[in-house]
Amino acid sequence: MLLWNKGFEPNEWIEQFTVGQDRALDMELARYDVEGSMAHIRMLQHIGLLSSEELDILLKGLQQIANEIESGQFQIEPGVEDIHSEVEQLLTERLGEVGKKIHAGRSRNDQVLVDLKLFYRAQLRQIGHLTCDVARHLLRLSEQYKDVLMPGYTHMQVAMPSSFGLWFGAYAETLADDMEVLLAALRIADQNPLGSAAGYGSSFPLDRQMTTDLLHFHDLHYNVVAAQMSRGKTERALSYALSAIASTVGRLAMDVCLFCSQNFAFISLPDEYTTGSSIMPHKKNPDVFEIMRGRCNLLQSVVGEVSLLTSNLPLGYQRDLQLLKDVTFPAVCQMGECLQMLDFMLDHIRVNRHILDDPRYDHLFTVEDVNRLVLDGVPFREAYRRVGMQVQHHEYQPTREVHHTHIGSIGNLSNDQIARKIEQAAARLS
């Protein structure tokens, strides 16, 4: 059934091309379509377009469909254009003429928009909670290994002492920053477009504040044109949030791949969480983190895909916007999978507590010894020269002592403050 049916059937090939993957993707929206429709008909009864009896009948019909969705019995039938058509058709088949009243005061445009807003809101909250879980896990590891030193690098050269406490904690705080991007995207998604119809409002006296309250939106898209313009804008904000988190997770995955290699050997993974080679018996590859790194790199391309789809569209709805679902729906799924896998794998990282026993890392301590001389009264440039000459003439003997006390350093990780950032972000997800 086509909601816009006017007595003729479109060419089958044309329909297949324009619908694309929409029927499959729309299954993700099914529960939200029912939720939005329930709020809409309550509002219609409130303004006098439905009787109380009609509302009760429609609510029971929609609840039956909602139960079928939750139990896995619901499907979009062949020949039905989308989820919106399927729900309205089922109501009409089961309830008769009253089923045809459900669409008064709305267009499929704002119906799709409200479904998408509800879906994106739920997905952003889920990804936000998963991100906070990973950040908390990283902080626990930071505390667990806060006294275990590791080499710090700049320009991929041995530089200064770091610690596993700093390494794990750095990614925890970076994820807290990423949460700010996600929360901004959530605020954009958490606005009600219902009542904007096809983008120019309705002559019905719609109570848009009522549907905003019923659907627990934080706010309204007040201007009906702006509401329609939010399709594409919401996805772009979502893509920035995914990109920010993916950038951090991908960078951590790269570190793990590097640090697992024999030339670094800072960490290791249990054999059962690695893969092997078909010809090299000794190989234990960190494939989980390599796939994670690759997926996160691809997730960062979503920003470009959304931008290209929406950058030259004129005012009003265009069918191109349908293709955003092809990009964003798999992306939110993959981001969630990466975060869940990372949280699992963090439990199985084994830290090498004796990395710095290797003399190749002696030069890590040159800055410590320069600073020690300065604290004894030697001018910095003179202290730098003395230690530099010792290194140059292969006479340098490190003290291997580290005394860092300022905020955020090896001896003062400030994990409590980072935890506060994470929990404040988590609280704003609700």
Write down the pLDDT at residue 157: 94
Could you give the maximum distance between any two Cα atoms of the chain, in Å?
A: 94
Write down the pLDDT at residue 95: 96
Rounded to an integer, the average pLDDT of 414-423 is 98
Q: CA–CA separation, 20 vs 323, rounded Å?
A: 9
Task: Look at residue 19 and tell me whether its pLDDT is greater than 70.
Answer: no
3-state helix vs strand vs coil in the chain, percent to 5: 65, 5, 30
Write down the pLDDT at residue 18: 65
Task: Look at residue 236 and tell me whether its pLDDT is greater than 60.
Answer: yes
Task: Look at residue 23 and tell me whether its pLDDT is greater than 50.
Answer: yes
Picking from 30, 36, 43, 134, the residue whose alpha carbon sits closest to that of residue 80 is 30
Domains, the chain, ranges and CATH?
A: 12-101 (1.10.275.10), 108-145+165-199+222-352+421-427 (1.20.200.10), 359-392 (no CATH)
Count other C-beta atoms under 10 Å from residue 14's C-beta: 9
Give the three-class secondary structure for 358. coil
Write down the pLDDT at residue 319: 87
Count other C-beta atoms under 10 Å from residue 388's C-beta: 13
Average pLDDT, the chain: 94
Q: How many helices (H) and strands (E) does the chain have?
A: 15, 6
Q: Which two tokens stand for residue 4?
A: 């816009």
Write down the pLDDT at residue 4: 46
Over residues 104-136, the pLDDT tens digits come to: 999 999 999 999 999 999 999 999 999 999 999
Write down the pLDDT at residue 80: 86
Rounded to an integer, the average pLDDT of 246-255 is 98
